[in-house]
Structure 1
């Protein structure tokens, strides 16, 4: 049972980093650095990412998730991130919010996937209150039956990461780079991308209003302190293994060739 924050003597500190059009691979590297080399709580908000990039979970299989012929033809970067979860394509219409927290940062919250997902669903429920039929559906954020926010998590011994890509807007053509996953949430009901997804801008008046609501909700759980990204980059010399990586063209071509051989 979560202990109401109003009964806490003081709120835990969280460091907030605001980014704009920050490349998603750089963001993932920053997240992993903060997760593995610091002991504080962090929130990273990145408004848009360039260039358009396909991002896969740590155990995702390329041929099953990515239309490799199209991705290779159009030189779309493919990144494998350090966390689990599904495959997305992100661009300047995507808003990213990442929480990196110690396991005791939220009183009463057990550091396991479903409790974390439930708690973040409550936090974002405050953000989207009055902006449509917001729901936590399985591991997605949705308005009604249509998804607008995808989530992934990574949990270590003492810390956890929950990161979300919100579809403020998206280019329908970009969805052609993604295959329909074999393993999908039940509520998707075999719908294609266009029938399954919606745009957050259809429910929230502006990106700035979303940011204001996010800061308000975050401030009800944490004492928020703004930190510049530049000051974080060189903060720690602690060695760590950075596992998020850009897949090489050779890796994509080999996966594509293997796929065609199997089909043949």
Structure 2
């Protein structure tokens, strides 16, 4: 079986970017897709995130930073071109793990292995989905399950504008529960800074592709683009859900 790798991205249209994740999830019939992509300056809410608790709304409106909501849970994150996103979708995995255990104990291992291959060092996991190095969070991840389809997507801070991030987000959120959360979640840094070495977009593509290929045990991979059917559904979801104020502002 071959791993399908998509590099299609629309940095200036984050609504379409997040919609494509759902479109791929709904259309994928078997096997696995790995997608690697970026948004320009955007704040991305989790499906349950309350804007007033996690976003400096006046600031992002003033700076013309787009606000988007995704279908997965987890906290609010800041995207720019220095943050590289990945999405892995697997249909009917042949694995002893199921449910969220498959997402976070199996699929997340591909992300961990990818980062470790980039830095030739070990990273740590906190709060189930926060990947850290040298005491800083460098990657946040969230999952979603639809029928027999499993989706894990997340961020990788390479050279993001952290000053802008801290102004755009409320860190920590107003409603965080200190007893249940390791505070490393809210202490972030760029991976390039922590290893004092430039990491390129191509480096990340190669690391994610090879490590998810190895994790899933597939024979090879190939680069592809979304089909017309997938893209049409993504556009439909963009217009009917992701770009609509009632979806984005569903939880103030």
Task: Show the 5 A alignment for 1:58-207.
Answer: 58-104=47-93, 106-110=94-98, 112-127=99-114, 128-129=116-117, 131-138=120-127, 139-171=129-161, 172-179=163-170, 180-181=172-173, 182-183=175-176, 186-188=181-183, 193=186, 196-202=187-193, 203=195, 205-207=198-200
Aligned-partner Cα distance in 2 for 1:199–1:174: 12
Aligned residues: 233
Query: Any stretches of 5+ residues in structure 1 without a counterpart?
Result: 1-11, 256-264
Which one of 229, 232, 248 corresponds to residue 227 of structure 2? 232
Task: Tell me whether 236-245 or 66-75 shows the greater mean CA deviation.
Answer: 236-245
Aligned-partner Cα distance in 1 for 2:55–2:208: 32
| Compared CA separation, residues 136 and 241, structure 1 to 2 (3 A) | farther
Please give the TM-score of this superposition, normalised by the length of structure 1. 0.76
Aligned-partner Cα distance in 1 for 2:2–2:22: 19
Displacement after TM superposition at 1:16 (Å): 0.9
Query: Any stretches of 5+ residues in structure 2 without a counterpart?
Result: none
Displacement after TM superposition at 1:209 (Å): 2.7
Please give the TM-score of this superposition, normalised by the length of structure 2. 0.79
- For 1:260, the equivalent position in structure 2 comes to none
Answer yes or no: is the 8 Å Cα contact 2:103–2:151 preserved in 1.
Answer: no
RMSD (Å) for aligned C-alpha atoms: 3.0
Displacement after TM superposition at 1:224 (Å): 4.1
Which one of 197, 204, 217 corresponds to residue 211 of structure 2? 217
Displacement after TM superposition at 1:227 (Å): 4.2
Answer yes or no: is the 8 Å Cα contact 1:43–1:97 preserved in 2.
Answer: yes
Which one of 28, 35, 45 corresponds to residue 36 of structure 2? 45
Q: Give the greater-gyration-radius structure (CA).
A: 1
Aligned-partner Cα distance in 1 for 2:57–2:36: 30
Whichever structure has more helix as a proportion of its residues is 2
Displacement after TM superposition at 1:247 (Å): 5.4
